[in-house]
Chain A
Amino acid sequence: MYRYAKLRNRVTRTFGMGADEVAADPFIADLVAALSPDRVKSDGAHRALLSHDASVFDGGNSGPVVFPETTAEVAAVMAAAQTHGRNVVPRGAGTGLAGGAIPLGVPVVVAVTKMDEIHEIDTDNGIAWVGPGVVNLDLTKRLGPLGYHFAPDPSSQQVCTIGGNVANNSGGPHCLAYGVTNAHILAMEVVLPSGEVVMLGGLDAEPAGYDLRGAFVGSEGTLGITTKIAVRITKNRPEVRTLLLSFDSVTDAANTVSGVIAAGIVPAAMEVMDQRITVAVENYVNAGYPRDAAAVLLAEVDGLAAGVDLDAERIAEIGRENGATNVKLAGSDEERALLWKGRKTAFGAIAQLAPDYYLHDTVVPRSKLAEVLQQTYDIAERHDLVIMNVFHAGDGNLHPLILFDARDEGVLERVHAAGAEIITASLDAGGVLSGEHGIGVEKQKFMDRMFSSDDLDHQNRLRQAFDPGCRTNPGKVIPTGHSCADIQSLRSIPKEVWA
C-alpha cells in the first residue's frame, strides 16, 4: 500500500546523501553531462518534495530531478534512463489528484516546468504551438488580446500545465460545450522511452493513419513525454451570461441540470456546489454566493446576444420549475469572474473545514445524478464521515469530497472504504471510473470493474508498443496482473539504486 502524505502515517525520510554517493552514480553523471549541473538535483530536499502531487498518495523519495529546456535534452534524459535501466516520471505542476505524478521505483523525475514557451500563435488557422510547461491560464491570458482562449479550463488552470492536461485529458467547467482536452490537441512532438523523437497527429483536418495522438492524450505519462504541443485555440464568444440559482436541496439542483439538457440547451458550463462547500468558498471570495442555500447551480451560456438572453431566461424558468428559491444574473464581468474564482478554488478552500480531503472523480449518466448524489451522502453518514459535493453537473461528472483529519486514529480506513463504495455506486448506476483526474495509482484496483481481462491486456500491449521496457511512469493506470511493470516491486525500493 502507498504511504499517505500527511503526518504520522509517514515514514521518516533521510535527507542526507553523501557527495561521494552522488558522484559515484554514473546515471547522474550522464544526466549532468546531458543538461547542466544546476538543472540536475539529487539532494534529499528535492527528492522528498517530489514524493507526492496534490493527491493523498506518496511514492517515497524520487530519484534525481531534472529540468530540461529543450526536446534534445528530454531525449538525452530518456536515452540515459534507458542505458542505465532506470524509470522515468514526467511532471508538470504536480496538481494531479490521482497520484499520476508520484515517483514509484525511484525514477528520474522530468520536470517540464522550464519548457514554458509559447512558440507560435496562428489565429488564421486557430492553432498555437506551446511547450508542455506552459501554464494553462497563461496561454488563455496571452490569447485574450487577440480575442481567443484555450477552451479546456480545469479548476487548477491557473497553475496546471498543458503537458499535464494532455497526459490526463483534463476536463473543466466549460468542457461541457467545448469538449475536453482531447478535442483541442492537434499534434504533439513526443520523446519516446527509447529517446526517439516522433510527431503524433498533424495540423491537417484528417491526418493519415491510426490516431496515435488520440492514444497519447490521456495516457498519463505512460507512453512518453510531450515536448511541443499544437493546441486548437477558440474564439471568444461575443456575449456571456452567468446565472446563479439557489435551491433548498441538492436534488432540485440536479433535476434542473437534467431539465436544461433535456430542453435542448447546451450551456457553456453548469456547475453545482452543495452548502458546505459554498460557505467555504464564499468565506474566501465574497462573490455573493448564498450561505443558506442547500445547493447552488452556476450556469453559463455564451454566443450572440439574442440567443444568450433567451437561453438564460429558459434556464431560469427550468430552475424555478424545479424549486429554485432565487435566480441571479451576474451583473458585470467582475462579478462573473469572482463567481468563477470561487468555483475554481473550491478544493483549496477545504482547509478552512478540515486539514485533509480526499477528492473523488466519477461520472454518472445525468439522469442518475440526483440518485447517486444522495447515495454519496448516505455512504458518508454510514462511515461517520463528512462529505461535500461540488461537480460538473452538466456532464454528470461528480466530485464527492471526503473531509478528514489524518491524525484521527483509523480514519483513513473509513475514508477508503467510503471512497470504494462511492465508486461502486457510480459504476452500478452505469457510470465510469474517472471523469478527468485519471486513474493514476488511485483507481487501478477498480479497473477490472470497468474492463475485462482481455481489455486490460490489450491496453497493456498498446502501452508496450510505445514503452517496451515499462520504464515510463511505471506502476500507473494498468492494474497488477495486466501491467508489464512489476507494481509490487516498484513499491519497495530496488536494491541497486540509492534512495
Chain B
Amino acid sequence: MDLKLGADELNTCVQCGLCLPHCPTYRVTGDETMSPRGRIKLMREVQLEDAPVTDEVIDAFATCVQCRGCEPACPSGVPYGHLMEQTRETLADAGQMTPVWLRAAMKPLSQPKLLAAGTAALGVAKKVGLVPDRLGLGAADIPLRQEPLPTTGTDVYLFTGCVMDTMQRDVHRAGLDVLTAAGFGVTPTGAEAPCCGALQAHAGLTDETRGLAEKMMRSLEPERPIIVDSAGCGAAMKEYGHLLGTEEARVFSGRVFDIQEFLADHVDKLPTVEPLDLRVAVQDPCHLRHVQRVHEATRVVLRPFVRELVELDDDGLCCGAGGAYSILQPELAGQIRERKLGSIDRATPDVVASANPGCSLHLGAAGVDTIHPMELVAKAIRT
C-alpha cells in the first residue's frame, strides 16, 4: 500500500546500521524489526514492494517510541521521525493503527475543562486505589485542586499545555518564577492554547495536530517568544513549520524556545545564590536532546544552582516514557526503563533532573526521585 512517504526521504537510508545502538527498542530486544533500519526497510517493503501490512509489520511500527535517538546518530540525516509520523498517519487513516478508544482518549487533551475534570476523577480514583498499575502512575501525586498561575508581564509567553498543566502545574510555577527573576514579564498561555498536539501526531492523528497548531497560532500574539518547559511540547511546536508547510508556521516555530534554551542566554540575569547541596544527574528528555538538540542548555542553567552535576553513561538513550508509550507498550517501556535505572544507579545522584513531564512520571513510577530543572533553580532562588 502507499504509505505516502516521500521517495527521497525513504531512499536516504543506506542501511549501514549505525542507528541500531541508539534505538531503545533494539537495545532491549536485539531484534531488527524493532530498529530504525528495520522499520525503514519495512516501510520500503510496504510502499515499494506492496508487501502486506501484517500484524508483525504493524507491531514493528507501533513499538517505536519515536524518541528519535536515531536521527543524530545518522550520518546521512534520514528524517526518521517524519517517516514514522507519516507511516502512522496513513495506517491510522486506513484504520490499521490507533484504535477508536485511543482516539477517544486523546480528545480531552485539547479541551481543558474536560481534562481537568478527568484528571480530578483520576486523582480521586487513585487515592481510593482504583487506578491499575499498568498506567504507570506509580507514586505520582495527582493534584485535586490547583491555584491559577499569575501573569507577571508581557515579555514572553509560558506555554502551559494540557496534561502538564493539570498534573504538574508546580513546574510551570517554578518556570514562571525563574523567568520573572531573570527580569522577564510572563504570560501563561492557559486555555487559549490548550494543547500542542504532540501526542496526537505520535499516534498518527496528524489532522488533529494541524488543527491544534492553527488554533494556537491564531490565539497567541505575534512576535512574543513562546517559552516551553516540556521538551515534548517544545519539539512539536518547533515542527509546526514542517507540519503546516507555511511561512507563517515557520515564523511561529522560530519563536518557540525550550525554557532552558532561553535562559541559557540570560543566566547572568539570575540572582547569585548559595547552590543547593545536591548531586544532580541530568536525564535528557529525547525530544530535548535528539529533536531540539538544546540539551547542553540544561547544564548551563543548572550548574550555578546545584553543588554537582553528573552525566548518565548511556549516551542519551530513551527512558521509555515516550508520551503515551509507557501506557501503550508497558512491557517494552519497562525494559527500556530498566536500562536507564542501571545508568542512574551508576551515577549515584541525590536527584535526577528531567525537563519533560512524561520522563519524570515514568521514572518516578519506578521510585526515582525526579525533578524538573526549573524546580531546582526556583528552589535555590527562593531559599
Contacts and interface: CB of A to CB of B under 8 A. Distances in A.
Interface string A5-26: 1011010111110000000000
Please indicate which of the listed interface residues B50, B60, B76, B77 has the most CB atoms of chain A within 10 Å of its own CB: B76
B14 A43 contact: no
B148 interface: no
Interface in A264-317: 280-281, 284
A39 to B, nearest CB: 9
Nearest to A112: B30
B45 interface: yes
Please indicate which of the listed interface residues B30, B50, B52 has the most CB atoms of chain A within 10 Å of its own CB: B30
Interface in B31-76: 31-33, 38, 41-42, 44-45, 48-52, 54-57, 60, 74-76
B51 A50 contact: no
Contacts of B51: 12-15, 44, 48
A458 to B, nearest CB: 35
A351 B56 contact: no
A45 interface: yes
B13 A351 contact: yes
Interface residues of B, number: 35
Contacts of A345: 18, 75
B30 A45 contact: no
Given A49-B41, A284-B77, A350-B76, A44 B16 contact: no
Interface in B82-101: none
Interface string A243-269: 000000000000000000000000000
Contacts of A28: none
B77 A44 contact: no
Interface string A317-332: 0000000000000000
A211 to B, nearest CB: 31
Interface in B9-41: 11-18, 20-21, 30-33, 38, 41
B45 A48 contact: yes
Nearest to B46: A15
A50 B31 CA distance: 10
A93 interface: yes
A231 B38 CA distance: 30
A12 B33 contact: no
Contacts of B16: 54, 95, 156, 347-348
Contacts of A8: 48
A347 B13 CA distance: 12
B21 A45 contact: no
A259 B251 CA distance: 55
Interface in A346-361: 346-352, 355-357
Contacts of A45: 33, 42, 54, 56-57, 60
B78 interface: yes
B248 interface: no
A357 B30 contact: no
Q: What's the interface size class on A, roughly? A: 35 or more
Contact of B313 (A50, A67, A141): A141
A97 to B, nearest CB: 9
Contacts of A46: 31-33, 56
A121 interface: no
A158 interface: yes
Contacts of B32: 46, 49-50, 94, 111
Contacts of B74: 348
A348 B15 CA distance: 8
Nearest to B77: A352
A169 B125 CA distance: 60
A158 B21 contact: yes
Contacts of A114: 30
Contacts of A158: 18, 21
Interface string A38-65: 0001011110111011100000000000
Given A54-B17, A159-B21, A15 B52 contact: yes
The 5 closest A-B pairs by CB, nearest first: A113-B30, A351-B76, A348-B75, A349-B75, A45-B56
Interface of B: 11-18, 20-21, 30-33, 38, 41-42, 44-45, 48-52, 54-57, 60, 74-78, 313
25 contacts: A7-B44, A13-B45, A13-B51, A15-B51, A15-B54, A41-B31, A41-B33, A43-B55, A45-B54, A46-B56, A48-B41, A49-B32, A49-B41, A94-B32, A113-B31, A141-B313, A158-B18, A158-B21, A159-B18, A345-B18, A345-B75, A348-B74, A348-B76, A350-B14, A356-B14
Given A14-B52, A114-B30, 8 more contacts: A13-B45, A15-B57, A50-B32, A159-B21, A281-B75, A348-B75, A351-B78, A352-B75
